[in-house]
Chains A and B, each alone.
Chain A
Amino acid sequence: VSTRKKQIHLGAHFPGVNNTTVWSDPQAGSQTDFSSFVHFAQNAERGLMDFVFLAEGLRLREHRGLIHDLDVVGRPDTFTVLNALAAVTSHIGLAGTINTTFNEPYELAKQWASLDHLSGGRAAWNMVTTSDAFTGENFRRGGFLERSQRYERAAEVVAVTRALWNSYGEPVEHHGPQFDVSGRFPLPPGPQGHPVLIQAGDSAEGRDFAAATADAIFTLHGTLEAGQAFYADVKGRLARHGRSEQDLKVLPGVTFVLGDTDAAAQELAAHIRRQQVSPQTAIAFLEQIWGRELSSYDPDGPLPDVDPDVDNVSISRGRVRHVKDPRVVAQEWRDFSAARGGLSIREVVIEKTGRQSFIGSPRTVAAEMDLFVQGNACDGFILVPHLTPGGLDRFVSDVVPELQDLGSYRTAYPGPTLRDHLGLRHPHAVPLTPSTRQESA
Chain B
Amino acid sequence: MSPFTEARMHLAVELPAAGRHPAAAAWAGLDAARLLTPAHHESLVRTAGHRGLDLVFIPDTFVADVPVLEAVAVAARVAPVVPGIGLVPTATITHTEPFHISKSIATLDIVSGGRAGWEPTVSRTPAEAALFGRKPAAPPDVLWHEAADAVEVVVRLWDSWEDDAVIRDTATGRYVDRDKLHYIDFVGEFFSVKGPSITPRPPQGHPLVAVRADEDEALPVAARWADVVRIAAPDLDAARDARERVRAAVADGGRDPDDVTVLLDVEVHLAADAHRARAELAELDTHAGAPLEPSSVRLLGTASELADLLGAVVRVGAADGVTFVPLVLPTDLNALAEQAVPLLAGRGLFRTGRSGSLRSRFGLSRPANHFAAHSTAPTTPGARS
Q: Please, how many angstroms separate the alpha-carbon atoms of A49 and B179 in the complex?
A: 40
A187–B68 CB distance below 8 A? yes
B70–A110 CB distance below 8 A? yes
Given A106-B62, A117-B36, CB of A187 within 8 Å of CB of B73: no
A66 at the interface (CB under 8 A from B): yes
Q: Please, how many angstroms separate the alpha-carbon atoms of A137 and B191 in the complex?
A: 10
Contacts of B77 in A (CB 8 A): 83-84, 86-87, 118-119
A83–B73 CB distance below 8 A? yes
Q: How far is the CB of B379 from chain A (nearest CB, A)?
A: 16
> Which listed residue, A81, A102, A107, A118, touches B74 by the CB 8 Å rule?
A118
**Closest residue of chain B to A172, judged by CB?**
B131
Contacts of B38 in A (CB 8 A): 86-87, 117-120
**Closest residue of chain A to B60, judged by CB?**
A110
Binary per-residue interface labels of chain A (118-132) against chain B in the complex, 1 for a CB within 8 Å, 0 otherwise:
111000000000000
Q: How far is the CB of A285 from chain B (nearest CB, A)?
A: 12
Contacts of A60 in B (CB 8 A): 181, 196, 198
Contacts of A70 in B (CB 8 A): 173-175
Q: Please, how many angstroms separate the alpha-carbon atoms of A117 and B198 in the complex?
A: 27
Given A77-B104, A114-B70, CB of A139 within 8 Å of CB of B76: no
A187–B69 CB distance below 8 A? yes
**Closest residue of chain A to B185, judged by CB?**
A137
Binary per-residue interface labels of chain A (99-116) against chain B in the complex, 1 for a CB within 8 Å, 0 otherwise:
000111011001100110
**Closest residue of chain B to A179, judged by CB?**
B133
* Segment of A32-40, A243-251, A320-328, A430-438 in the binding face: A32-40
B176 at the interface (CB under 8 A from A): yes
A58 at the interface (CB under 8 A from B): yes
B110 at the interface (CB under 8 A from A): yes
B97–A74 CB distance below 8 A? no
Contacts of A73 in B (CB 8 A): 166, 175-176, 181
Contacts of A142 in B (CB 8 A): 192
Q: Please, how many angstroms separate the alpha-carbon atoms of A86 and B42 in the complex?
A: 12
B103–A77 CB distance below 8 A? yes
> Which listed residue, B106, B177, B195, touches A69 by the CB 8 Å rule?
B177
Q: Please, how many angstroms separate the alpha-carbon atoms of A137 and B130 in the complex?
A: 25
Q: How far is the CB of B343 from chain A (nearest CB, A)?
A: 32
B100 at the interface (CB under 8 A from A): yes
B:188-212 near A, CB below 8 Å:
190-200
A53 at the interface (CB under 8 A from B): no
A66–B175 CB distance below 8 A? no
B170–A140 CB distance below 8 A? no
> Which listed residue, B66, B99, B133, touches A181 by the CB 8 Å rule?
B133
> Which listed residue, A57, A80, A87, A186, touches B108 by the CB 8 Å rule?
A80
Contacts of A182 in B (CB 8 A): 130-131, 133
Contacts of B312 in A (CB 8 A): none
Binary per-residue interface labels of chain B (204-228) against chain A in the complex, 1 for a CB within 8 Å, 0 otherwise:
0000000000000000000000000
Interface size on B, residues (CB 8 A): 67
B275 at the interface (CB under 8 A from A): no
A279 at the interface (CB under 8 A from B): yes
Q: How far is the CB of A439 from chain B (nearest CB, A)?
A: 15
B110–A280 CB distance below 8 A? no
Binary per-residue interface labels of chain B (4-29) against chain A in the complex, 1 for a CB within 8 Å, 0 otherwise:
00000000000000000000000000
Q: How far is the CB of B96 from chain A (nearest CB, A)?
A: 6
A188–B67 CB distance below 8 A? yes
Given A73-B175, A120-B38, CB of A115 within 8 Å of CB of B106: no
A104–B95 CB distance below 8 A? yes
Q: Which of A76, A103, A117, A138 has the most CB of B within 10 A?
A: A138
B99–A138 CB distance below 8 A? yes
A356 at the interface (CB under 8 A from B): no
Q: How far is the CB of B34 from chain A (nearest CB, A)?
A: 11
B78 at the interface (CB under 8 A from A): yes
Contacts of B96 in A (CB 8 A): 104, 107
Q: Please, how many angstroms separate the alpha-carbon atoms of A196 and B194 in the complex?
A: 32
A80–B76 CB distance below 8 A? yes
B133–A74 CB distance below 8 A? no
Contacts of A420 in B (CB 8 A): none
A:14-50 near B, CB below 8 Å:
23-24, 32-34, 38
> Which listed residue, A34, A77, A87, A139, touches B193 by the CB 8 Å rule?
A139
**Closest residue of chain B to A280, judged by CB?**
B173
Binary per-residue interface labels of chain A (56-80) against chain B in the complex, 1 for a CB within 8 Å, 0 otherwise:
1111100000110111111111011
B130–A88 CB distance below 8 A? no
Q: Please, how many angstroms separate the alpha-carbon atoms of A115 and B73 in the complex?
A: 7
A23–B81 CB distance below 8 A? no
A139–B133 CB distance below 8 A? no
Given A87-B78, A110-B70, A139-B97, CB of A79 within 8 Å of CB of B36: no
Given A70-B173, A87-B80, CB of A59 within 8 Å of CB of B192: no
Contacts of A84 in B (CB 8 A): 76-77, 79-80, 111
Contacts of A427 in B (CB 8 A): none
Q: Please, how many angstroms separate the alpha-carbon atoms of A115 and B77 in the complex?
A: 9
B168 at the interface (CB under 8 A from A): yes
**Closest residue of chain B to A32, judged by CB?**
B200
**Closest residue of chain B to A72, judged by CB?**
B175
Q: Please, how many angstroms separate the alpha-carbon atoms of A250 and B134 in the complex?
A: 36
Contacts of B130 in A (CB 8 A): 180-183
Jot down 9 A-B pairs with beta carbons below 8 A, ordered by A: A70-B175, A73-B166, A74-B197, A77-B106, A83-B76, A107-B96, A137-B192, A140-B98, A142-B192
Sample of 9 further A-B pairs with CB below 8 A, known A84-B79, A188-B33: A67-B196, A69-B174, A72-B175, A74-B176, A87-B77, A114-B70, A137-B192, A280-B173, A281-B173
